[in-house]
Amino acid sequence: MFQTLTPQAPDKILQLIGMFNADPRTEKVDLGVGVYKNAQGVTPVMRAVRAAEKRIWDNETTKTYTQMPGEPAFHAAMAELVLGKGYPAERLAALQTVGGTGAVRMAFEIARMANPGTTVWVCDPTWPNHLTILDFMKLPRKSYRYFDAQARAVDFAAMIADLQAVQKGDLVLLHGCCHNPTGANLTLDQWGTVADLLAAKGAVPMIDLAYQGFGDGLEQDAAGTRLLATRLPEVLIASSCSKNFGIYRERTGCLLVLGDAANRAVTQNTLGFLNRQTYSFAPDHGARVVTTILTDPELRRMWEDELEEVRSGMLGLRSQLAEELRRLTNSDRFDFLAHHRGMFSRLGATPEQVEKMRTDSGIYMVGDSRMNIAGLNTDSVPVLARAIVAAGV
């Protein structure tokens, strides 16, 4: 049987990790892996997470199963974080998932169950896993333009022009904030235009909210998502706890489904069914940590303060890099780096220039020139800036 298997395409990020690890140079810089790192190159355990884990350790009395769709307290805490206080609980069904990726997959699954003929519209560019998951599921997909590579900004006119072709019942995938891989986000006015278009077309938005708190702040980063949730009858939201809580390996995510209150019970039942058919119960530890933090005022305050340190640190690195490149090039063409948000920006380098930076300067980034800003520190920013100029970007 297994003789029929064929090798799968290698993961470019994993290949990059191997090359970086094998490079003996001390000044090498890893900008490929999409994981937050502090100035020491470490992904730290947040203070609030450590405190919550100790509390759980001291008080936990059992390791028995929880509930198939996850704990209601986790659902409620995540719904309030994403949708704000006073969210429409009567319209909401929720599912605890294996990471944000699990939430994305389950969103596609329930959309397919509800409408087997749905087409998924995906922005170009997007997180590569969106495309590979859809293709593996054999879900039809179409792309809409999103990013102007020359201006290094959202091409909103092109986006709206392409989305004019969506059909009733189609799923439109949107990045809630900190767009991966470009770092270029929609304005709130643009979110409003998207809401009007989707309402007129009868299409359903699916929002991938993987970086809430990494861009302009917890509330600001959720503003577009909340706008769609209040103006459209049906919304899917895939939320990740990996980044903003720093619990990558705990694989904690949540799928929120907003629909008609009359159908809520059936939707909730279907979400539980999907978990049962996939992995039964999602891991509990990360979700319990998140719930403990979000429902305890002291721990929440500690977490929000630390998350703000992370966010402001990345903004500082962005500004430092933009200023250093302005100094070296006597040009403002890299100022977009200071305006983008989140962990990623697409530099605008060719694959050949990316290769030159790796070969000559030990700078490791994905071939499309997506770079992880959190892979930098104040000492490596000048190293990267010199490499960018030397490569002729």
11-44+312-390, superfamily in CATH? Aspartate Aminotransferase, domain 1 (3.90.1150.10)
| Average pLDDT of every residue of the chain | 96
The 10s digit of each residue's pLDDT in 1-18 is 999 999 888 777 888 888
Domain boundaries, the chain: 11-44+312-390, 65-295
* Amino acid present at 197: L
Judge if pTM exceeds 0.75.
yes
Contacts for 294 with CB less than 8 Å, ≥ 6 apart: 77, 78, 80, 81, 300
> For residue 19, what are its two tokens?
């090359």
The 10s digit of each residue's pLDDT in 280-334 is 999 999 999 999 999 999 999 999 999 999 999 999 999 999 999 999 999 999 9
For the domain made up of 65-295, give the CATH fold: Aspartate Aminotransferase; domain 2 (3.40.640)
pLDDT (0 to 100) of residue 58: 97
**Residues with catalytic function:** 127, 208, 210, 243
**Is the bond leading into 128 cis (omega within 30 degrees of zero)?**
no
* Amino acid present at 268: Q
Contacts for 267 with CB less than 8 Å, ≥ 6 apart: 93, 110, 257, 259
